[in-house]
A and B are shown apart, each in its own frame.
Chain A
């Protein structure tokens, strides 16, 4: 069919997806999207992955998007289909993941009538999407679909909902192709202001204790941004730390890597944040998990902030030089200006700074008490890392202690290899996300480092993994607790472990088998390596029940309300003293 052809709304949807280069859609059918599903049935270009719950569809699409750099696509029905997708949409908004979510809607003449499976989808999703549309005329549909992809992927990426009433899916209208369709007014600024770039370069050149603080924006900007970041670090020898979302942009094996920063970041990264004199924030947003106590946040530094979203600048922390634009463009410009002016840092000062950092490193902040009888959770992740090293591996996580341990102990060398729910902190993200990653990378090793509580929230997606023969590995760090909840209860609530113990957990091995997958269990450190190797070799979905020390806690930790240089270290807090480690003021905070 040539551009400009007449077709039904449902045909347009599939045509637009194909024209946008979409290969996979994650979805779940229902009454209000049946015309679209009928079209899916009659074509080959777009493959539909049937999930088991709409939340799973959104997280799978997020994993797909995050691991490929492409836009994830979700298709759900009206009413409960749309409301179930809300968690994933919010997650994608918080972590700036490009998604297009198509929702069915009751026919236009029934909208507002409290019809069966009707909900105000655009109303409900307005605050949890970057933008959303209700399509009332089939002749607008093609344009809106293309516009949705444009909006989702340009500027700061985010989720876009297109709500399509059933009568619009049946109606016939004119299709227009994606060429030249952008939003009529939305033009995010990509190229940074050159004066700001020059000012930034000049400020960096004067630094004695410079530090790069990078975030998810580097990943979102694409592989070029990661490469430029590495070039810039190699040129300047500036130490670098990253947020949870930014892991992999700079290789963990790189000599300038200080580890993750923030609440559960490394001692050296947080101390360097506190003591630096020039901070270069690249694609990060001074989240409260990063800054700790805001009025004690890096008190002696001048700050440069590169961000594509002007509203991120000066939101919580005042910065001296804002650079609004895409990370790759900004780094490219900075490198060019740096070279053209033959700028150089004060070598002596930098040496002193590095010496100080090396001193902090000797604190060995991630060390934990090894145990010969029980598997320490940190050890499990270390072994998982060592035994998958050099392989083509993608990691997703749920949310909680295991997530922080994964961030601390799994080393990422490349961007787009690490999928985690950072902003929203959605328990249950990892399993469906791994499904999405595996769909995008069928030959790769995809592991969800999971917690026993989180994983049960979206466990039903094992059925999806089984159906599509997606050999995801669900590696459960099983301590029978909601570990992070318990850790906070220990620290803040007098060790009263209110409802944080998971009684009656399922037998994960049998659960795996019930789904037609493979179940495994490791209980002793001695058997861990062999079992992990076995897991990797299995060409089917696996649930790996790794029974770990139940009461291990995640350190180092900046307690809420404290500054970067007031970290709690593991050895400072024996289990019996855990309750007195945070003062009354800190207890108020989340």
Chain B
């Protein structure tokens, strides 16, 4: 959608903004072969889809199978289309929409560096305890916290650290898995 152009009803200017956008986490099982991540990212770039977060790692070394978790936003139609477009790629084994599954768990990990002294430093440590963030490095004037949790928890922790001397953040992006006895088709 190009906002400066009039909405004409043509397929080119389908008013996708009319339907509310949703955020979905997709788990994608792929062959871990050269270029597979470029393929997936290229699909998103080429078709104008959003990537909010992306994590990838080989999960089965013997089978050379990787799992990619992508958090994306779009209207329900677009999300459906993304899923189908991913599924038709040759090295993609299967795609699961963790958000539609509903019972899925999503987590991410962040490393948060905070520098400061005195009261601010004590406050940072106190908040870290409340959030169950671990101190993985400490100096006399700085901490590095490791925090794991849902995205909104991580976000909240980071925003609380801002006035307390936030220096730097490294985040893994979201990984997700569904509850219950069933696993994704490999």
Contacts and interface: CB of A to CB of B under 8 A. Distances in A.
B35 A588 contact: no
Contact of B8 (A151, A186, A314, A588): A588
A316 B34 contact: no
Nearest to B185: A185
A174 interface: no
Most buried by B among A184, A185, A314: A185
B79 to A, nearest CB: 11
Given A311-B81, A311-B85, A288 B35 contact: no
B34 A134 contact: yes
Contact of A588 (B6, B39, B77): B6
Given A123-B38, A127-B46, A186-B90, A585 B31 contact: no
A588 B9 contact: no
A184 B90 CA distance: 10
Given A122-B35, A311-B87, A560 B93 contact: no
Contacts of B46: 127
A184 B31 contact: yes
Contacts of B5: 588
Interface string B1-32: 00001101111111000000000000000010
A294 B11 contact: yes
Nearest to B80: A314
B84 A310 contact: yes
B9 A293 contact: yes
A371 interface: no
A278 interface: no
Interface in A163-191: 183-186
Nearest to A312: B84
Contacts of A316: 11, 14
Contacts of A156: 88
Most buried by B among A123, A127, A130: A127
A347 B102 CA distance: 48
Report the contact-size class of chain A (Cβ under 8 Å from the partner): 35 or more
B11 A311 contact: no
Contact of B42 (A127, A293, A584): A127
Contacts of B87: 310-311
B181 to A, nearest CB: 23
Interface string B72-83: 000001001100
A280 B34 CA distance: 41
Contacts of A311: 81, 84-85, 87-88
B14 A314 contact: no
A186 to B, nearest CB: 5
A131 interface: yes
Contact of B31 (A185, A315, A560): A185
Contacts of B85: 311
Interface in A544-583: 560-561
A469 B11 CA distance: 46
B90 A294 contact: no
B38 A126 contact: yes
Contact of B81 (A123, A185, A314, A590): A314
B91 interface: yes
A33 interface: no
A586 B42 CA distance: 31
Contacts of A183: 90
Nearest to B34: A134
Contacts of A296: 9
A288 B12 contact: yes
Contacts of B9: 293-296, 561
A313 interface: yes
Interface string B54-87: 0000000000000000000000010011001101
A130 B90 contact: yes
Interface in B158-186: none
Interface string A122-144: 11001100111010100000000
A122 B87 CA distance: 20
Contacts of A155: 88
Contacts of A293: 8-10
A333 B34 CA distance: 40
Interface of B: 5-6, 8-14, 31, 34-35, 38-39, 42, 46, 77, 80-81, 84-85, 87-91, 93
6 contacts: A130-B90, A186-B90, A311-B81, A311-B88, A588-B8, A590-B12
The 3 closest A-B pairs by CB, nearest first: A311-B84, A131-B90, A585-B8
